[in-house]
Each structure stands twice: as C-alpha cells, then as structure tokens.
Structure 1
Amino acid sequence: MKLLPGYADLTNRLRFSPEQGRIWRDSERCVLLSQSALTTLRSQLVAQIGQARARQLFWEMGFAEGARCAVEAKELRPDRDFLEAFAFGPQAHALTGFGWTEIETLDSDSASGHFRGSFLVHDAIEAAIHLATDGVSADPVCWLQTGFASGFASTFAGQPIVMREIECQGMGDAACLLHARPEAEWPELDDVENSAVPLAAPCRRSDSQEIVPGVSAGYHAVRNMIERAAGTDASLLFLGETGVGKEVFAKLAHRLSLRKDAPFVALNCAAIPEGLIEAELFGVAKGAYTSAVASRPGRFELAHGGTLFLDEISMLSPLAQSKVLRAIQEGEFERVGDTRTTRVDVRLLAASNVDLEQAVDEGNFRADLFFRLATLPIRVPPLRQRREDIPGLMEHFRAKYALRHHRKATGFTARSINALLMHDFPGNVRELERMVERAVLLVDEGEAIDIRHLFLGSDRGRIRAGLALTDDGRVAGTETGPDQTQSISQLVGLLRENGEGLKAVESMMVRAALEAARGNVAQAARDLGLTRRQLASRLEKMGL
C-alpha cells in the first residue's frame, strides 16, 4: 500500500485543559476511559442484559461514532485521493487507543457500488479485555471495532457496508482481520448486523410505514424520547425547522404506542384557510350552512381511539386554540353548527417550526394550550447538525424513488456524496429528498447520480466541501460534465420516450411541489416561482 498521510490533522484537533478537567476534540468534549473501566462496563452489561443485547449496544455505539468520523474525514481531507481520505477512519480509531489498523486491500467504485476491503487490526483492546476476563472465545469479540468500521465505511462510501471479523485476537488469532463488502453481497446478516445497519434496508416498508434511517446522536436522542413515552398517552410536541421530519417522527411515535392499530390522522394547520379550520378539526353538522347537506366528521372524530397529529399548530386562530384545548382536556367538542356534544378518545401529537414559548410571550399562542401540549417537548435537530444521517437518507430516497418512478440509478458518485455531506441543507431532510428524487429522474438509466443531477436552478450555490456551482450548472474546480441544458435534454428525451408531453411535466412538477410542501399551496407556489393565485388556477384546471 502507498504511504498514508500522517496524524497531524487529527492530533491538532485535540486540546487538554487539566485545570478545568476537560479534553476537547475541536468543540466536542471527550473523556479518557481506562481499560479497567471499559472492562467493568462491558462485563456488567453482559451480566445484566445478556451478551446478544450488549453486543448490539456496543456495535451501534461504534457505528454511530464511525459515521461521525466519516463526516470529519470529508471535511479535513477533501482534496485527498480515496485511500488517503479513507485512512482517516483507521487512524482516528488508532488515536482513541483501540488498536492500530493496517490497510491490506481497498478497492472501491462508488458509481457502480463496488466496495471491497481487507483490514488487519493489531493489539485490539476489546480482544485483550475478553481474553483477560473470559479466555479464548469461539466467536469474534470486537463489537465496538466492527461497528465503528461499518459505520465509517457506510457513511464514507454512501452505501451500506458491513465489516466482519474473519479472524479475531479474542479467538486466539494473531490479529483481527476485517473484511468489508456491501451489505447486499454478504450471504446473510446476523441479528445484530441486520437490526443495526440503518442503511441496509431502505424502502422495505411501504411509504406510509417507512422509517427514515439515522445514526446520529441527535436522531437517537429524539427516538429515545419517543420510546420513553411509547406506553403512555402523553402529548408530544415536536419542535424544529421546516423539513426536519417532524411528521415522520410523529408516525413513529404512533407505531410504537398502544394505539398502533387505531387510526393515525394528520392535519397541516397552515394548509387550511382560517375560516375552514374548525370544520376540518371538529366536523360539520347537517344544515350548518347552505352546502352542508350532510353531516361530516372532523379530524378529531376520525382519529377516535388513535392519534391526531397537528402540524404547524402555531397557525391556529385563538378560537380554534381554545376549542382544541377543550377537546384534549375534556375529550369532547361540538361540530360546527351543532349543539350536541361529541366525545372522543384521542392522543394528540403536535409540531411547530416556530418558538411557541416566544409566541406565548407575544400573545400569539395560548399559554394553557402550550403547557398542555408540552408535556414532553422533543426538539428535532436540523440536518446540518446530524450529517452522519445523510448517507443513509440518500440511499433510502434513491431506492424509494427508483422504485416509484421505475428508474435504475445505481448509486452516487464519490463527488456527489462529498457534496451532499458538506451541503448545509436549509430545507433539511425535505430538501434532500426533493434533490434525490429529481436526480433519479435526470440520471441516465443504469448510471450513478452525479452533482449535476442534484444541484440545479435554485439549488446552485456554495457547497461546504469547497465545490462551487457556476451559473451554467457546472461544478467549478472539478472536471466539467454535461451542463444543465444537457440534463434538461435528458429529461425531455425520457418523457418523449414514454409518450409524455408538456402538460404531463407540469402536472408532475405541481404534484411534487404540493407533496414537498405537505399540501401548503402558498409554499408550493413559492417553490415553483408562481403566485398563489397562479398555482390555484393551474390546480383548478388539473382538477386537483
């Protein structure tokens, strides 16, 4: 193998302040953990929760740390070749004291999805711990190590890569030999690998049941909060920027709850005109107004026995807020135009992209409703604060939309992976999903998604990896590929082959914009560069 870079870019990030009792890696605090302390932790976990669960816990911890490390590798070695940049992972692992790695072979082609590697880890601390406490094992014992290696390789390569210990010092071998290959190319995964590789199974569920993958600390913090409340009817308030996935987490909360077999009903409060919101929430009695020729249930009734999710709840009028408060506190309400009381049993979940505490202080949101909703507030971090989740989301959306649109996109090029890992994503997960869906439509059949398929039009701008998109759609500082005109030509050619015309393209764009905006016509109009009236006119002509 060629001479690898030194450790200076890793060691320069470490700072020690014994007077303050702190160690930093950049801005993140760290601790030194002795072998005896790690031995005690591992032994106690095995004794209390069993070896299988302890192994999974350590594997998942390692995977998450490896994924985070891969993002650092992209940031610190953006201009190095594949081997030099990938070596950051084994070097970072060595710097933590877990053992040093010799890269025997490494062969990767992100465009085709090919990945093969052989790594020899010497003096592995996990093996030493097991040998000292339990003697020679019949199975590999370096759980953190294989999890770290799998997480680093998966995030770095932008596809699910599983590293397995073929040989292990804990089994009496001279060193730990790890083999790496894509998850799909292993004959089978064991229970830990199958449940813990969050990139491994995109779109095995239908769209309504999909669980978007994540490995970051922020993702797990949200999920842990949801799981803590799984057996209760406590209200959950999801807070975070637009597009971070609040509704996805709300659906997860419903699926993990005791009400999972009952309805999950969602309403985007921002998408309903103020004059109609009460009818949407509570229903309409027959004769309430001229066109009410029959009674109609509202979302509260439709969610009876199950879960009601109110997105953008800050958009409710003061009157609607008071009626929602009564409905969730007393379990009763009246339909619009009715005097009879209807009783319901509903668990309420809500979400907001604005600071509700500030809205309360400003008099724009009822304090009593806020305190009723905020039994367990859950803040969902923006995507730029959990970059480790990006590769899993990329693969998830690629598989999802390739299946939906009957397209074959083999994967992502190395530079497209780098660009997406470094992009700031002001639109968060929703922006990434839109970019990948469009790329699936634009990429040539059987080819890998490249930067030019991802960053077009309003997406042009600076990419944190140092790649800049020029006005004509090319990537400055890298080799030039077909420009935006050629990409559009490819799309037109694809539509012509399928017998589609301009109206079909317009309909597809409008539907995609509405879906991305969760039915918010005003937002969809802005995304399309139209006024709300212009989009409403098009929707009327399309019968939408």
Structure 2
Amino acid sequence: MTKSPASSLPPRISLAEVARATGAALGRFDGDEVARALGRFEASHVGSEAHPTIADISECLFFSPGDGRIWLQDQRMVLLHTEALGSLRRELIDSLGQEKARGLFTRAGYVSGARDAQLVRAQWPEAEPASAAIAGTRLHALEGVVKVELVHVRYDPETSDYEGEFIWHHSSEDDEHIAAYGIGGSPACWMQVGYATGYVSTLFGRLVVFREVACRSMGESHCRVIGKSAERWDDVEEDMRYLRARDFVGSPPHGASTPQAAHLPAAPRRHDAMVGASAAFNAACHLLHRVAPTTATVLFTGESGVGKEKFASMLHSIGPRRDKPFVAVNCAAIPETLIESELFGVERGAYTGAGASRPGRFERAHGGTLFLDEIGTLSYAAQGKLLRTLQEGDVERVGGTRSVTVDVRVIAATNVDLRQAVREGRFRDDLFFRLNVFPIHLPPLRERRDDVPLLMSHFLQHYGRKHGRPATGFTQAAVRALLNYDYPGNIRELQNLIERAVIIAPEGMLLDVHHLFTSGEALDKNVLSIRPDGHLSGAGSAPVSSDSSANQAAADGAPGPGSWGQMEETLIKNALAQCGGNLSAAARALGITRAQLAYRARKRGVAS
C-alpha cells in the first residue's frame, strides 16, 4: 500500500513518473543475465519482466525537492557523497580498529537490507520468491551502491534451502577503501555483505549468510560473493560475529550443533545467549556492556516478554559477580503478606507456621545479584521496607532481633511507567530514584523487526531439537505473517508461536500460517492466508480458529480449498468496473499501487 509519510507533505514525484515524462525506458536496465539467473531458482521459472521490475521499484522512489526529503515508499532516504561515507569509514577504522569498524558497517548494512526486504514484501506480497530475491539486487543498484551480476542462484521452496553466487561491479565501498588504504589482504565490502545477509534472511525468514570470497580491495578485478543457508557453512560463527555488537550475543544455532555463546574470559559458556542484530538491540547491549563491570543498580524497563530477565541474567554473567549467586524474585507472584519474609527471611516462631528459621532472598544473594522482576507491583508498605534495605545495606528477618549485613547488587525490572506511578502516588519517589541509577529500556519486538528472522531461525532449531521434530523452515506465507505481526506478547509470544507450530506441523513439512496462528491472534489485514477449513484468515476476517478440528486439520496437513484467487479476481473486477476501467483510480480504491494492481490483474487474467 502506498503510504504518505505525512499528510502535510508537498506534492512528491516518483522516479517512474520522471521516466514516463522523459520517455526513458527503465525496463532496459533488466538485462538478459537476470532472466538466465532467474531460471536457476528451483520451482520458479520467470523472466526478467517478473515483478517487481526496475520500473515497479522506481514507482516507490519519491522526490520532494521543495521539502528536502526523499522517500523509498515510507522509508526516508538521503543522497550522501561517497567521499563523506569514506571519511567516516576511515575515522572509524583508525579510532576503533578494523574489526570493530567492520562490525559496525556490517550491522548497518544488515538493517538496510532488512528494511528493503520488508518494503518488497509489503509492496508485492504475491511476488514469486525468485522475483522478490532479484528485487534486492535491483534496489541495491537503484540506491547507487553496487551493480549486481547473478552467476547462479538456487532456492528450494520445499526445504527453504538457498545458495547463490554473485559478482559485484563498481562497489562504492571498494572505491573509498582503496582510496584510503590501497590494496590489502582482506575484503572490504562490509556494508554490502551485511545488506545481502539482511535482505535474503528477512525475505525467506531463515538465516542466509553471505561471504565475500574475492574483492577489488584485495587486487581482484571484481568482487565475488557467495550466499548460503547458515547451516551449509562449516564455520558460520566467523561471519556471524560481525552481526553481534558484543561477544555475549549468540548466533542462532545451525544444523544439529548445540547453541553456545561466544567465549567470555573467566565466564562459563552459555546455552541461552541473546539473539539479535537490530540497532535497538545493539544499543541495549552496548549499555549492558558499559554497566556490567560496576556495582550500579540497573533498572530494565519495557513491555512484558521483551527479555528483561534474560538481560538481567546476562548482566550478572558478564560482571565481576559472575561466580556468586543470581537470585530472581517475581514480585508480582508473591502475596503481600509474604513479601517481607520472602525478601528478608524469617526467624523460627515469628508467626504461626514458622517452624524453622530461613534466610530471605537478600541473604541468599549475598555477594551476588538480586533480580527484582515486576517491581512496580510491590505494595506501598513493601516499597518502604525495600528502600531501607537498599539504603542501609542490611536486613532484619521477620521476628528477628539483629541485623544481617548483605552485599548485593540489585537489578530491577518493570513493565509499567514508574514515573507515572510516582505522579499517581502508587510508587515511592525515593525508591524510584534509588532504583533508577542506570536505566536500560528494552524496545518491543515490533520496533526491532530486523531481529525477527534471526529469532525465527533460533527458535525453529531450538524447539526442533527439544521436541525431536526437525523442521525444515517456513513457507513464504508464514514468513510474511511473522514479519508483519505486531507481537503484543513480544519475544515470548514469537517463541510460543514457533514452538506450537513445530509440534503441530507434520514432520518434515514447512511451517505454515495455520500451524502458527491457532489461538485467535489478529493478523494484519494485508496478511491474508487460507485456514485449514478453507476460509480466509486475517485481521479483516475471523481469527484463526483454535478448536480441535482446526488443529487436527493442521496436524494432518490438510490444505483445504483455496478461495484467495477467486476473491482477488472479484475485488479487481469490481474495482475496475466502479472506476470505469481506470487502473490508477481502481488502485487507489483498493489501497495498492498502480503497478501492484496491473501485475495482479495480468496474473488473474482480468482485462483492464
């Protein structure tokens, strides 16, 4: 759907409109090699005119000269001098070193590729996998980064297996790197490799890693890259470390290997390393790394399910108290009458039923870390007792007569706005300022969608091994649904969706929409799919049924009768009839672009 970034914007003109006005033939930029390479896709034999073409993509590039803005659909773009980017590159390499600078540029490229893949999925939801993949090469060229020549590409929709080889011509990264450092011994197209990884991984919902095997910065005549599904690389960890801001961020597991975090000095290897590559995720990781060596109190904020306890556990494991206890307390799960004894301990005979003395959570965490989850649910009285302990550094058991000194690092987490709670008198302001020493906000998953493909791959492999049900991947419809879903339950909900699908789907079958969304989840209205009972599901229709018959049909792999094609054909015919055959007017009425409508009309055999 074509969206206006702001209703007050002055008129915009697209590149396609300029081409039509000047008579330029944008289609001629799609050469014969594209058609030949497209034919290499298994089960997808399409020509260079398969949509989206260069002409289609140019419909999404808008210029608003009087307003000082350029848009690629709803994403703002800029024209930047390559010399300026080269200057930034030199400063980062000289100040941070080549390895860290390479990671920064690789992650920036990954985010750019993921954004372009989301654009293609939103604009051309019915595009064949081959055409959608080629759109990435066209976008990369249109954005002035590099010309891409396809050597061969293979994608198997039955197994989601991908392998491709490309040649890059006129790399802008190489131009600037060679100008600054001359010919060296390592590849330099870092952003471009990140872009390719982000684009294809987001497009197919499965981690695909690209590697530059020849580069002009190494003295080669051109750059050559190879992309494969992550598990097909023997040493993918070497590539993945450039997508991680910190060593404690893990890569998704591949094949049958056990997932482990990267090695940390004097720290045990972990099986629950965090997964992510988005800018928001990396920003939180940077803050975590900064505060870890200290004893400062940390307050994690964010919606339920964003991974606050995971971050708290990682903060403990990379800090100086890693060898001491980590004690987690869910404040919301403890009754108000028991919160004092749970936190501070109880002496024998303090009250009826206290038959023995026992330490509280503060004492058990002595020397280590105490994690107070959902701290915003504490009663006002319990907040006062907690404040005293934080100020004085000692506790007194219920029914006791002496104080016990404790050395505890406190980490708190909440999914409520504590500042607002203070204003409303529900939370003590002095306790808030005691806890809010080093706040770290964890954004919801809908604001870090670049991490969704990595998390999908991670959870697919994890639950496949856990339940002994190896899964090969996701269907294109499932990928589209997962990338567009709003995730009110955040990462925890994505985790549950994939675990459920792994259990429901027949062994060896790709996970589909009806395997994932079986509990009344509201899908985006633009993500329509066929339910097992043959009806369309999505936000604009009844949610996917969770009754036993639907689940049984999903387990049996029953596809049900297809009704999407007929419905789409009817919608197109009705829109064209109401608009007197005017394609542009019909596209506006349907809320899609003219290019989208023309493509779908041709596909359905509807005359315009």
Q: TM-score range by the shorter chain?
A: 0.7 to 0.9
Deviations 1:303-347 (A, max 9, x none): 111111111111101111111112222211211221211111111
Alignment partner of 1:322 out of 384, 387, 390: 384
Alignment partner of 1:308 out of 367, 370, 382: 370
CA distance in 2, matches of 1:234, 1:9: 53
Assess, with a 3 A threshold, how the Cα gap between structure 1 residues 113 and 12 changes in structure 2: closer, same or farther.
closer
Say which is worse superposed, 242-251 or 133-142, in terms of deviation.
133-142
Shift of 1:364: 0.4
Q: Does 1:204 align with 2:259?
A: yes
**Contact between 1:59 and 1:143, CA under 8 Å: does it hold in 2?**
yes
Q: Does 1:191 align with 2:238?
A: yes
Q: Which residue of 2 aligns with 1:124?
A: 171
**Contact between 1:424 and 1:464, CA under 8 Å: does it hold in 2?**
no
CA distance in 1, matches of 2:422, 2:237: 51
CA distance in 1, matches of 2:87, 2:530: 52
Deviations 1:275-310 (A, max 9, x none): 111121111111112221111111111111111111
Assess, with a 3 A threshold, how the Cα gap between structure 1 residues 364 and 397 changes in structure 2: closer, same or farther.
same
**Contact between 1:183 and 1:200, CA under 8 Å: does it hold in 2?**
no
- 1:457 alignment partner, SS class: coil
Q: Does 1:466 align with 2:530?
A: no
Structure of greater relative contact order (alpha carbons < 8 Å, 6+ residues apart): 1
- 2:305 alignment partner, SS class: coil
**Contact between 2:107 and 2:278, CA under 8 Å: does it hold in 1?**
no
**Contact between 1:474 and 1:484, CA under 8 Å: does it hold in 2?**
no
Report the count of equivalent residues.
Answer: 489
Deviations 1:242-268 (A, max 9, x none): 111111121122222222222211111
Q: Which residue of 2 aligns with 1:335?
A: 397
Alignment partner of 1:60 out of 99, 107, 127: 107
Shift of 1:20: 6.6
Percent of pairs identical after alignment? 44
Q: TM (normalized to structure 2)?
A: 0.74
Assess, with a 3 A threshold, how the Cα gap between structure 1 residues 53 and 85 changes in structure 2: closer, same or farther.
same
CA distance in 2, matches of 1:489, 1:94: 45
Kindly report which structure 2 residues correspond to 1:365-444, keeping only aligned pairs within 5 A, or say none. Answer: 365-444=427-506
CA distance in 2, matches of 1:88, 1:484: 41
Alignment partner of 1:106 out of 146, 153, 157: 153
Q: Does 1:115 align with 2:162?
A: yes
Over the aligned positions, Cα root-mean-square deviation in angstroms equals 2.9
Assess, with a 3 A threshold, how the Cα gap between structure 1 residues 192 and 178 changes in structure 2: closer, same or farther.
closer
The residue type paired with residue 467 of structure 1 is: L
**Contact between 2:342 and 2:360, CA under 8 Å: does it hold in 1?**
yes
**Contact between 1:78 and 1:85, CA under 8 Å: does it hold in 2?**
no
Shift of 1:435: 1.0
Shift of 1:357: 0.8
Q: Which runs of 5+ in 1 are unaligned?
A: 494-544
The residue type paired with residue 268 of structure 1 is: N
- 1:78 alignment partner, SS class: coil
CA distance in 2, matches of 1:442, 1:471: 12
Shift of 1:123: 0.7
Q: Which residue of 2 aligns with 1:485?
A: 549
CA distance in 1, matches of 2:435, 2:65: 43
Alignment partner of 2:136 out of 75, 89, 102: 89
Q: Which residue of 2 aligns with 1:148?
A: 195
- 1:363 alignment partner, SS class: coil
CA distance in 2, matches of 1:492, 1:83: 29
CA distance in 1, matches of 2:518, 2:348: 50
- 2:520 alignment partner, SS class: helix
Q: Which runs of 5+ in 2 are unaligned?
A: 1-34, 36-46, 245-249, 262-268, 539-543, 558-608
Report which of the two structures shows the higher radius of gyration computed on alpha carbons: 2
The residue type paired with residue 299 of structure 2 is: L
Q: Which residue of 2 aligns with 1:270?
A: 332
**Contact between 2:209 and 2:239, CA under 8 Å: does it hold in 1?**
no
Assess, with a 3 A threshold, how the Cα gap between structure 1 residues 190 and 201 changes in structure 2: closer, same or farther.
closer
**Contact between 2:297 and 2:436, CA under 8 Å: does it hold in 1?**
yes
The residue type paired with residue 179 of structure 1 is: I
Shift of 1:220: 1.4
Q: Does 1:43 align with 2:90?
A: yes
Assess, with a 3 A threshold, how the Cα gap between structure 1 residues 282 and 103 changes in structure 2: closer, same or farther.
same
CA distance in 2, matches of 1:335, 1:19: 70
Shift of 1:188: 2.4
Say which is worse superposed, 348-357 or 48-57, in terms of deviation.
48-57
Assess, with a 3 A threshold, how the Cα gap between structure 1 residues 414 and 29 changes in structure 2: closer, same or farther.
closer
CA distance in 2, matches of 1:393, 1:263: 29
CA distance in 2, matches of 1:60, 1:14: 24
Assess, with a 3 A threshold, how the Cα gap between structure 1 residues 209 and 476 changes in structure 2: closer, same or farther.
closer
Q: Which residue of 2 aligns with 1:508?
A: none
**Contact between 1:215 and 1:388, CA under 8 Å: does it hold in 2?**
yes
Q: Which residue of 1 aligns with 2:507?
A: 445
Say which is worse superposed, 89-98 or 342-351, in terms of deviation.
89-98
Q: Which residue of 1 aligns with 2:44?
A: none
Q: Which residue of 2 aligns with 1:541?
A: none
Q: TM (normalized to structure 1)?
A: 0.82
Alignment partner of 1:176 out of 223, 229, 235: 223
Q: Does 1:234 align with 2:296?
A: yes
Shift of 1:492: 11
The residue type paired with residue 245 of structure 1 is: G
Say which is worse superposed, 187-196 or 19-28, in terms of deviation.
19-28
Assess, with a 3 A threshold, how the Cα gap between structure 1 residues 187 and 323 changes in structure 2: closer, same or farther.
same
Shift of 1:473: 7.7
Assess, with a 3 A threshold, how the Cα gap between structure 1 residues 23 and 235 changes in structure 2: closer, same or farther.
farther
